[in-house]
Structure 1
Amino acid sequence: MDWVESGGGPLLAAPASQLARWEGATDGEDDEAPVEAWGDYGRACAVEGYIGLVGIGGGQGLVLGDEPATTTYLPDERLFLRWAAADSEAELLQAARSAVRGVEWEEELSWDVDGAVVLFDSAWPGATPEPGNHLNIDLAPGRYRVRAAYTRDDRTWMILVHLQPAP
């Protein structure tokens, strides 16, 4: 599996068609300045909770917030899997595939996409996402119901973000 890591902030699934419009963190970022002053990265950081939306050009990006968890995408399940704790990747994948069928979703929103998206660290500019640390994700254009939840058992802890085509 390919995983995307964060340097400390949220990850972003941005429409490939609007990627060049994401500027990431501003140069000379001041930790004392309000988060809104940090450019596009600041807008992503301002999202509270597990998921949120930010405008990017004529589209919307999906922010994966809460904690900077290493994340992958499982296309068969249309699931972003965010690794909080597990002894192995295989153990985490198995737990996620089981959990998605019975988890109590905590947050929900609607997300309109025009096709493929790219998952990357929101601090990076979209025109040049960090080499080796981004995922290209094929999505059919349309509206998606996005649900998120934190789940854990004795050995695995994870955040699940599930995409479901909206009727």
Structure 2
Amino acid sequence: MPYTWVGSAGGPLLIAPESELGHWGGASDMDGPVETWGDYGRACSVEGYIGLVTIGSQLALVLGDEPARTTYLPAERTFLRWAAADSEEELVAAARQALQEHITWDQDEDLVWEIREPVMLFDSAWPGAEIELDNQLRIALGPGRYRVRATNIKNPSNWMILVQLQPTVGKHLNDTTPTEVA
């Protein structure tokens, strides 16, 4: 089964609430330091594979570190980021196999994200109101809080980054409040 892959021109991808897309300005003047690049600069400031930024009245999830093409595996609630592979079929199979085995998730790549509505995956350089029609993916997740964790996996034929969403119940993990990258 072919998947919809979202690519980047070189920066991070964004997963934003649909109702807040008009609040994302994308890249503005990129001549100065990254902090002056508008919303895209905020996404670029995320260190590591995942982070949160404010968009309107909600938070969006940033997929950082690598500008890797990304798709979503709904049964596994996992974003699959293609770093290196010979084929889509091999990469998806390798990701599913890895998720069935014991994965060591990166300790520094763990946060809680609240979702109220369907979200859109797209290149963070684009304004939310103008995202590329052929380079986006709508994901209908149930409202709630999700633990988001990430890791990279390398084997002889496939290299991928996995970002998994796990529904949480009750309080935030570790009694912490999710924060955004400034």
TM-score by length of 1: 0.96
Deviation for aligned residue 1:29: 2.0
Name the SS of the counterpart of 1:100 in structure 2: helix
* Structure 1: runs of 5+ lacking an equivalent: none
Aligned partners of 1:74 and 1:7: how far apart in 2?
A: 22
Q: Paired residue for 2:98?
A: 99
Aligned partners of 2:148 and 2:21: how far apart in 1?
A: 20
Aligned partners of 1:29 and 1:130: how far apart in 2?
A: 20
Q: Greater helix share, 1 or 2?
A: 2
* Structure 2: runs of 5+ lacking an equivalent: 170-182
Q: Paired residue for 1:166?
A: 168
TM-score by length of 2: 0.89
Aligned partners of 1:105 and 1:137: how far apart in 2?
A: 23
Aligned length: 164
Identity over aligned residues, as a percent? Answer: 63
Aligned partners of 1:128 and 1:143: how far apart in 2?
A: 28
Aligned partners of 2:120 and 2:99: how far apart in 1?
A: 23
Aligned partners of 2:33 and 2:60: how far apart in 1?
A: 21
Name the SS of the counterpart of 2:8 in structure 1: coil
Matched residue type, 1:92: L
Q: Paired residue for 2:72?
A: 73
Deviation for aligned residue 1:141: 0.8
- The CA RMSD over aligned residues, in Å, is 0.7
Stretches (4+) displaced over 2 A: none
Aligned partners of 2:99 and 2:37: how far apart in 1?
A: 35
Deviation for aligned residue 1:110: 0.2
